Structure 1
Amino acid sequence: MSRSPDSTFGDTDAYLLGEGTHARLHEHLGGRLVADGLGATFAVWAPNARSVSVIGDWNAWDPRADPLIVRADSTGVWEGRSAHARHGQAYKFRIVAEGGRVLEKADPLALLSEAPPATASRLWSLAHDWGDDHWMRTRAERNRLDAPISIYEVHPGSWRRPDGALPNYRELARPLAEHVVSLGFTHVELMPVTEHPFYGSWGYQTTGYFAPTARYGTPQDFMDFVDHLHQRGIGVVLDWVPSHFPDDAHGLSVFDGTHLYEHADPRQGFHPEWHSAIFNYGRNEVRSFLVSSALFWLDRYHIDGLRVDAVASMLYLDYARKEGEWIPNRHGGRENLEAITFLNELNRAVYREHPDTFTVAEESTAWPRVSRPIEMGGLGFGMKWNMGWMHDTLAFMKEDPVHRRFHHHRLTFSMVYAFSENFVLPLSHDEVVYGKGSLIGKMPGDAWQQFANLRLLYGYMWAHPGKKLLFMGGEFAQRREWTHEGQLEWQQAELPAHRGVQHLVGELNRLYRSERALHELDASPDGFEWIEADDQSQSVIAFLRRARNGEAVLVVCNLTPVPRRNYRLGVPSGGIWRELLNSDTLAFGGAGWGNLGEVEAAPVPSHGHRQALSLTLPPLSTLYLKAVADA
């Protein structure tokens, strides 16, 4: 092997890599097939290596056959070309570290890996004839903060396995798209599909930051998946993990014989909760690597958004650590200043290069301005998961209705901070694993009350300010806790009560998308007004959601199994108010209580308004009403 004459890694790339601002390393590093199909170029960052060679199928894994040459500059990039390498062949970098230690490493920028448990990288092209032009031209309006965004979270390997085997991306795309379209979700969020050696990590222990896992097929198979969903009008969000990585011998850990990607000091570089390595965000080349990974998925796979995992663990130096187990920052504080810099650079790059996409932070603390512009002191994310809403709401719903009046504040407290960030309301995979049970299993009471409570919860969630996220199986009230082995219990979806919940989710999504009052001002206090927040004695709440043009939807939740007759609520206009949704209707599996579809407002002052409705509130229910005529 000789120094590659057609290497695209030049002086500017060297400068940007050293500066930490290179956002396109995937165009310059890694194993890449040359245009004529005869051979491949290789480039890898290993600044502390004594020597590097490429071993692979074409050279019988002989470390003497294809040595790389280190660049004359100080980047530590080794490069070369092999004329004998071909598409699909497996390879690794053989690194001799100082002291003579020999390491065989997968390519950090590989486009594909061998299917686990094999660990080599594979040479691959990313050619694909995309058919999603219409989606790409119009997705900006679908991803805006004033758009309806309702996300269906999916673990690809356990959504559906009709023959027991893991699905191919292509096989998954068709039935998944059909299901999502039928239920009216706007986006699918995939748990991490970046290559990972341990299937049981669900993808959260990533080794291949530029490769979709080979468990489900090739890059073209995954491109077809995204392409098909786009052609069906569905956005695709990826769960992406820049917070930590596993210490598997073939991966990033101790890559060139030194702690290259991670901190050497375990007080900074070892994650005690996940037993994994923590990226060294203070290293410029590491930030370039991670930002390049993020942009790679947006560039090459047309991904519409990135949900960034475990942001809280990145922000705090003492995360999951006891006193004496962490090193303060240069000011003596617990904030990870280098991680903040990285997150700022990440969001700048995403919104600069792909302003029609979005980033979402899974951040579980009260860190301020996560989804606010960097210029305002924020982290620059587009949205943030509302973990406080999720914890408080599920804690409230677990209470027996007879006790809910003593916990009323849990349900109303979220409105104190609802507009401090651009929130997503998540009922995610994290809430249905590790002994937490299913969503339906969290609901108190007999079977009828459990289903009524779940329908009430969904009605409240879809009306609450913020975008929506529901993990697979929740749409039909799966009874069993989720497991990554096997598939969802699809047979349950055909049972009447479960079918009713699925019908409700579809109708909630339809209303959320069609009624501007329910989505247009999700991130603005102008879109919300309490009507009744303090009726804890009867466990009733009521509020208005508003659109920019003043249209309003009244939302009423009866949080007990006791029907409430003649319940008066003030409303902003007279005339007929029609029931848009009643979670207790027979079609959803309810008992059929309600207001015969509509009710007329009376000129009776109430709740600060001159008109009022006298409503029948069904047991354990959510009502949506909208004025259809003025008095």
Structure 2
Amino acid sequence: MTSTHQDTTPTFSQEVEPGRVLTMKADGTGLTVLDPWLDPFKDDLRKRYGFFEKWKKIIEDSPGGLDNFTKGYEYYGFNVDKDGTIHYREWAPNAVTASLVGDFNQWDVNANIMKRNQYGVYEITLAPVNGAPAIPHNSKVKISMTLPNNERIYRLPAWINRVTQDLAVSPTYEAVFWNPDHKYVFKNPRPKRPESLRIYEAHVGISTTEPRVGTYKEFTQNILPRIAYLGYNAIQLMAVMEHAYYASFGYQVTSFFAPSSRYGTPEDLKELIDTAHGLGLMVLLDVVHSHACKNVDDGLNRFDGSDHCYFHEGAKGRHELWDSRLFNYGNYEVLRFLMSNLRYWMDVFQFDGFRFDGVTSMLYTHHGIGYGFSGNYHEYFGANVDDEGVMYCQLANYYLHEKYKNVITIAEDVSGMPGSCRPVKEGGLGFDYRLAMAMPDTWIKLLKEVSDDNWNMGHIVHILTNRRHLEKTIAYSESHDQALVGDKTLAFWMMDKEMYTNMSDLTELTPVIDRGMALHKMIRLISHTLGGEGYLNFEGNEFGHPEWLDFPREGNNSSFHYARRQWNVLDDPLLRYKYLNEWDRGMQVTEEKYGWLHSPQAYVSRKNEGDKVVAFERGGALFLFNFHPTQSYPDYRVGVSDAGKYKVVLNSDDKQYLGHGRVDTQGEYFTTPAEGDWDTRPHWIQVYLPSRTALVLTRQG
């Protein structure tokens, strides 16, 4: 008997790339249209998408829907009416009683007792006193609670937007009521989302040459102009969400709504972001929603005395490697806290998007601990996957992209989960980009273990191009991870101790410095042009920052020597760091003109192991790399797709970048039709290709 059943699942049309529209089912299986290898996992994808839809409906059906749900910071924490009336609310279901205490009431637990509702939310309203708010601006506050065992505890408010530290008194952070008379008013509109994303990753605290913590104001005045000059169009700010331990690099967050006070005031941070916008720079926040610091006195841990307020209880709520707490993404109030946190940074501080830290930990029940991903699709489904973590990523990305048309979200994920950077309606996680984390590891490994005359061109090209089709990646040769203590910057790996003695124009250009400078430029350019749809550089590495990055801690006698950026070596006109800085600018400016990052993936026509030459075309440009340490090639023949006249538009051997000036920058190269083809291209040109040199050529007219 023939079945007459018809599949009535709704469908939608999706343009997946220019001119290519596909029809997908609206049940989370759209990814299988892009990748047939996902067909065996359709049921898993439907289940995953159904779980997201379930939670989305729960939130949309709540009072005020998704819009109200994500404005939790206007309900919880401290909010002040125009007449000075203060409202304070806190979710603490395990508490029996709660009181608001602080300098304003001499810390009297009986003076301002809070009322509890049926959901475990405590609240209190304080009328103005003599026409002013009852709590003075910048005065200390806490919530005090009693527990079922009659124990009294004191906690920093979970939604507090200002915490400060007085090391002369205690290393523990204190919450303060932040209500300045003059609030910062933004002057500049947000920049539009760029087609090609070029990110400058930065940390405010290390952004001074002096051995101390830098400030927001110093970053605004001294660093933003440098970033704009280099030609980046986005900044990724690290360690902004308050963290009690400076050496954690911002990844042990204690107060999620408080910008770190060690760099200045919230108004200072707003001024930084506003000034960046005025320079055409988007500002992304390195957001840490994958875990939280386990501190009790100045963190979220055991907030209401229980082990499970914001986190999972027991072992499920602890990350063994990071020694931190793991959020319960399947809890309504926890979702409200995290989703509101995203909106808070977007609306109150005018950030333009997020780099989500530790996404691998969020997506999998094993959190990536001791787990080596092989790329087998079974690793991305079943018991390995944390359904609630996946749902939160989908929910966050769905909301952000619905609410903010120019928002950018980036995933730090080593697993390569299929669909991470596809829209949620297709069954993806909804991120715009993921970091190409294998790329910097490859460069470090090559420099540490393989002589560059034995570098395998095919392997390098494979690492740089091994990404999922139609899922955007951020390419980078080194980020903050590679610079941390225990490792060294790429420049230091190549030039090491000679950076102390032979980086002056007044000294001989030694073979070590010559090699290091040449490879530094080549590694960055091939990563930039071949490795992704966006590019990232960590602060200072653009000019070959020496040594490594290490924060003051017990193990180094609390030294700031390595927790700073040595702008002095860049600004000294006699030193050679300036050449790398100009090269970095040359890359960004040339990309802005030709747009290879937002062009289709490169067509690699040559990977010659003997010559150590890589050639490819992308964005209408021809890229040539000769990694050979000694061999230069006159009249080197390379294939091109388009006939015509070509000229060099970027040349790492140019003397302005400390090259040897072996390439005529005014030279013209004319194509010749290939008989059959040359390197699978219909035309060829002949170019002088010096050793350890990278060239970018474009067709003229």
Which of residues 126, 151, 154 in structure 2 aligns to 1:101? 151
Q: Which of 486, 502, 506 lines up with 2:581 in the alignment?
A: 502
3-state SS in 1 of match to 2:672:
coil
User: Where does 1:363-378 land on structure 2 (aligned, <5 Å)?
Assistant: 363-378=413-428
CA distance in 2 between partners of 1:79 and 1:110 (Å): 14
Checking the alignment, whether the CA contact within 8 Å between 1:29 and 1:42 is kept in structure 2 is yes
1:537-559 Cα deviation digits (max 9, x unpaired)? 2111111112xxxxx10001111
Task: State the Cα distance separating 1:115 from its structure 2 match.
Answer: 3.0
Query: Which residue does 2:176 correspond to in 1?
Result: 122
CA root-mean-square deviation: 2.4
SS at match of 1:263: coil
State the SS of the aligned residue for 2:656: helix
For residues 281-311 of structure 1, what are the alpha-carbon distances to aligned partners after superposition, in whole Å with 9 as ceiling and x for unaligned? 1212111111110111001111011000010
Matches within 5 A, 1:367-446: 367-398=417-448, 399-405=450-456, 408-417=458-467, 419-426=469-476, 427-443=478-494, 446=512
Query: Partner residue of 1:620?
Result: 692
Partner of residue 468, structure 1: 535
Worse-superposed segment, 314-323 or 56-65: 314-323
Q: Which amino acid aligns with 1:169?
A: Y
Gaps of 5+ in 1: 1-11, 324-328, 547-551
Report the count of equivalent residues.
Answer: 588
- TM-score (norm. length: structure 2): 0.80
Distance in 1 between the 2:228 and 2:156 partners?
39
Aligned 8 A contact 1:571 1:610 in 2: yes
Q: Tell me by how many angstroms 1:332 deviates.
A: 6.2
Identity %: 25
Alpha-carbon separation, structure 2, partners of 1:454 and 1:113:
41
1:589 to 658, 667, 672: 658
State the shift of 1:85 in Å.
1.4
Partner of 2:680: 608
Q: Which residue of 2 aligns with 1:265?
A: 314
Letter in 2 for 1:108: A
Contact 2:100 2:114 in 1 (8 A): yes
Q: What are the ranges of 5 or more consecutive residues in structure 2 without an aligned counterpart?
A: 1-58, 128-133, 372-378, 496-510, 552-559
Moved more, 611-620 or 52-61: 611-620
Rounded to whole Å, the distance in 2 between the matches of 1:502 and 1:351 is: 35
SS of equivalent to 1:453: helix
Say if 2:446 and 2:452, in contact at 8 Å, map to a contact too: no
Match of 2:226 among 175, 179, 184: 179
Q: Quick check: 1:190 aligned with 2:240?
A: no
TM-score normalized by structure 1? Answer: 0.88
Query: How far is 1:21 from its partner?
Result: 8.4
Structure 1 partner of 2:54 = none
Q: Is 2:100–2:109's contact at 8 Å kept on the other side of the alignment?
A: yes
For 2:113, the equivalent position in structure 1 comes to 67
Q: Structure 2: which amino acid aligns with 1:41?
A: H
Contact 1:183-1:505 at 8 Å conserved across structures: yes
* 1:226 Cα deviation after fit: 0.7
| Structure 1 segment 11-50 matched on structure 2, within 5 A | 15=62, 22-37=69-84, 39-50=85-96
- Structure 2 vs 1, CA of residues 557 and 35 (structure 1 numbering), >3 Å: closer, same or farther? same
Query: Cα distance, 1:433 vs. partner?
Result: 0.9
AA of the residue aligned to 1:296: Y
| 1:232-270 deviation digits (Å, cap 9, x = unpaired) | 22111110000111111222111111121111121x111
For residue 383 of structure 2, give the secondary structure of its aligned residue in structure 1. coil
Quote how far apart the aligned CAs of 1:461 are.
Answer: 2.1
Q: Which residue pairs with 1:598 in the alignment?
A: 667
Aligned to 1:557: 625
1:291 aligned counterpart, secondary structure: helix
1:36-435 equivalences in 2 (<5 Å): 36-37=83-84, 39-71=85-117, 74-83=118-127, 84-115=134-165, 117-125=171-179, 128-133=183-188, 135-136=189-190, 139-140=191-192, 143-144=193-194, 147-162=195-210, 164-250=211-297, 251-258=299-306, 259-266=308-315, 268-321=316-369, 333-398=383-448, 399-405=450-456, 408-417=458-467, 419-426=469-476, 427-435=478-486
* 1:7 aligned partner: none
Q: Secondary structure of the residue that 2:145 maps to in structure 1?
A: strand
- Number of the residue aligned with 2:642: 573
Looking at structure 1, the residues matched to 321 and 92 of structure 2 have their Cα atoms a distance apart, in angstroms, of 29
Corresponding residue to 1:515 among 579, 587, 594? 594
Give the distance between the partners of 2:634 and 2:186, measured in 1 at CA.
Answer: 55
- Deviations 1:315-357 (Å, cap 9, x if unpaired)? 111125579xxxxx9x961100010111111111111221211
Give the C-alpha shift of residue 118 in structure 1: 4.2
- The question of 1:491 aligning with 2:563 is answered no
CA distance in 1, matches of 2:265, 2:341: 18
Change in 2 beyond 3 A, CA 1:70/1:131: closer
How far did 1:90 drift?
1.3
Distance between the aligned counterparts of 1:343 and 1:287, measured in 2? 11
Contact 1:197–1:207 (8 Å) recurs in 2: yes
Cα separation, partners in 2 of 1:568 and 1:531, compared to 1, 3 Å: same
Does the 8 A contact of 1:459 with 1:583 survive in 2?
A: no
